[in-house]
Structure 1
């Protein structure tokens, strides 16, 4: 379950946290907050982040393909092919994908740590943000199943090292996918590693594993899902039967790879793609640049996320379906959102 694709996460987490923010007057309305946040955070932020990423030096061994799988390209039918498919998964259309090197797993905590140690990069969740000239502490969004009115809450001190808040830790969790990663953070890592994020068309091709007519990468039988994917089983979000043995994120390679040799391409953590999100993307393919939607207009312009997470369920988003699409703002940092990289051949 991702954050809603209808709102800017960067603005909403401010709304959720303002009741405890000491720097905000009690008579400030959410409409005023929205206006101030838009004024202070949208103008030039994307450009500044992209310029910072551009200046990151590529690591010396960036040509190495250890931990990557070579996937042969091909032409496939992209788009919804089940009763659960949503409107933004249509129309079905043909996509041709080139050969790629692909990370066999989601980027892990250990891998991301090496990037941080080499570059000193600070993730967006670790950065102070401003509204109307006032500074607010860094933090990120954490899932709270106990609050039916707001499942997500902004937690100061939450970031990739502390995914559930300042009292949590990734110690001993080297092989878990790194989360609380924004699109900018993923782009920064990819630049350093000499790789890039996959386009949305590439991701669906990789997820299908050469079986383009199947609903899931393991087939069409959902009853087999707990053997192949980390997701939420039970009455979402209040109960989780944990048939798959995990309540939250699982170490990479805890489930079988798909037929391309890729692990956790469904479930575990949502994964960022290159593309700017459009609900009608498949009807405007001629507007793509280099095979993906590059345009970016404002702080609320979303980027595509794919693959689903440990919060996905049959009663909610079914994000583990091969064709499922979701999105979030590029500055979003969430407890169930990570990434993997690809490299052109």
Structure 2
């Protein structure tokens, strides 16, 4: 397996150089409920699992997310909503189980111990693979740069920051990986209950396969975050004044100063903030979380034009990022400790971002889900 390296990483790297599913099981004896509202024009026979099926126990560390019809995407009152979050889509999603927290360092370490898995950030970079993602004629970086590593955050030393220039706060760091998330001298010892980061999409999928889980779709993730409360900007409501009590985000002038009003400057241990109504922690802030959907900037607009309710949508058929057309990106949700109201405010429920599948970053992790059919034996 090769480390293909990310477009974002390459961009920062070049600046540096210049400057110096499986077979479905039968669903027997399970109590299901039909959602009748607003589905006549879609499929009158569709059965959606709302309540947890009788006889099916909740897997350890997970909670039940009730199926529902809801509006996926930005609410009308959200003045910070971006174009790729709207217009909101009418969707119908089955119930499922979801990890109560992001996958932790302890859990990922157990997976690595059991399988011997080596993450993307721990592998050498193959220039022949990397060339497929960059503009023709891009010079090969020095061999010393093509060593295993990942992107780490650094505060800007300048009070004047171009927020379109990611290289001002992201640094390609040799030796950074899930065990050394801030660089080779950092460690996760004593931080077993922190979310694992520096996880590329392939790494998350490998963990899911081992754990008999999968990544959530964007629709599932958003349904879980809302926890039965629809029409609000945040998963706790519309009151942004309580942000520091509810989530780990960046408070202050990003990326220069962080007041740490929420108690943390970087990552926080899981369960440091209140759970939502379903018992899910960190559905806003702390670290971004992978979903299984392709990131396509036009997805909401294109699907809205179909004028129908989407049943268990799985996102766009193909990726599309206007300013990065060569990369294949997946949707990440939830925001992170770097999200600021002066920059992206991505702790909003509908907020979404695309991340290259081979990107390993200090602020990106994941949590898993399990469909009912995955647990029926």
With structure 2 as the length reference, what TM-score do the two structures score? Answer: 0.75
Instruction: State the 1:242 CA deviation.
Output: 0.8
Moved more, 165-174 or 92-101: 92-101
Q: How many residues align?
A: 300
Task: Work out whether residues 266 and 307 of structure 1, in 8 Å CA contact, stay in contact via their aligned partners in 2.
Answer: yes
SS in structure 2 at match of 1:310: coil
Q: In structure 1, what is the equivalent of residue 343 of structure 2?
A: 316
Which of these residues, 98, 112, 115, is aligned with residue 102 of structure 1? 98
Instruction: State the 1:15 CA deviation.
Output: 1.7
Q: How does 1:133-282 map to 2 (within 5 A)?
A: 136-147=146-157, 148=161, 150-282=168-300
CA distance in 2, matches of 1:173, 1:320: 23
Moved more, 279-288 or 136-145: 279-288
Q: In structure 2, what is the equivalent of residue 72 of structure 1?
A: 66
Q: Which runs of 5+ in 2 are unaligned?
A: 1-5, 23-56, 129-139, 162-166, 373-377
Query: Structure 1's 204 and 111: CA in aligned 2 closer, same or farther, altered over 3 A?
Result: same
Task: Write the deviation string for residues 252-288 of structure 1: whole angstroms up to 9, x where unpaired.
Answer: 0000000111000110000001011001111334799
Moved more, 108-117 or 236-245: 236-245
1:292 aligns with 2:291: no
1:301 aligns with 2:328: yes
Q: How does 1:24-103 map to 2 (within 5 A)?
A: 65-81=59-75, 82-103=78-99
Task: Work out whether residues 78 and 92 of structure 1, in 8 Å CA contact, stay in contact via their aligned partners in 2.
Answer: yes
Instruction: State the 1:77 CA deviation.
Output: 0.7
Task: Work out whether residues 256 and 263 of structure 1, in 8 Å CA contact, stay in contact via their aligned partners in 2.
Answer: yes
1:8 aligns with 2:7: yes
Instruction: State the 1:210 CA deviation.
Output: 1.0
Query: Structure 1's 124 and 259: CA in aligned 2 closer, same or farther, altered over 3 A?
Result: same
Task: Work out whether residues 293 and 314 of structure 2, in 8 Å CA contact, stay in contact via their aligned partners in 1.
Answer: no
Q: How does 1:107-122 map to 2 (within 5 A)?
A: 107-122=103-118
SS in structure 2 at match of 1:177: coil
Query: Structure 1's 79 and 290: CA in aligned 2 closer, same or farther, altered over 3 A?
Result: closer
Task: Write the deviation string for residues 119-178 of structure 1: whole angstroms up to 9, x where unpaired.
Answer: 111111001012258852100001111355621110000000000100000000000000
Instruction: State the 1:64 CA deviation.
Output: 7.7
How large is the RMSD of aligned CA atoms in angstroms?
2.5
CA distance in 2, matches of 1:295, 1:323: 20
Query: Structure 1's 290 and 119: CA in aligned 2 closer, same or farther, altered over 3 A?
Result: farther
Q: Which runs of 5+ in 1 are unaligned?
A: 1-6, 21-25, 27-52, 55-62
Task: Work out whether residues 73 and 350 of structure 2, in 8 Å CA contact, stay in contact via their aligned partners in 1.
Answer: yes
- Say which one has the larger Rg: 2
The list of structure 1 runs, each at least 4 consecutive aligned residues, that deviate by more than 6 angstroms after superposition, is: 286-290
With structure 1 as the length reference, what TM-score do the two structures score? Answer: 0.81
Q: In structure 1, what is the equivalent of residue 46 of structure 2?
A: none
Q: In structure 2, what is the equivalent of residue 341 of structure 1?
A: 368
SS in structure 2 at match of 1:284: helix
SS in structure 2 at match of 1:292: coil
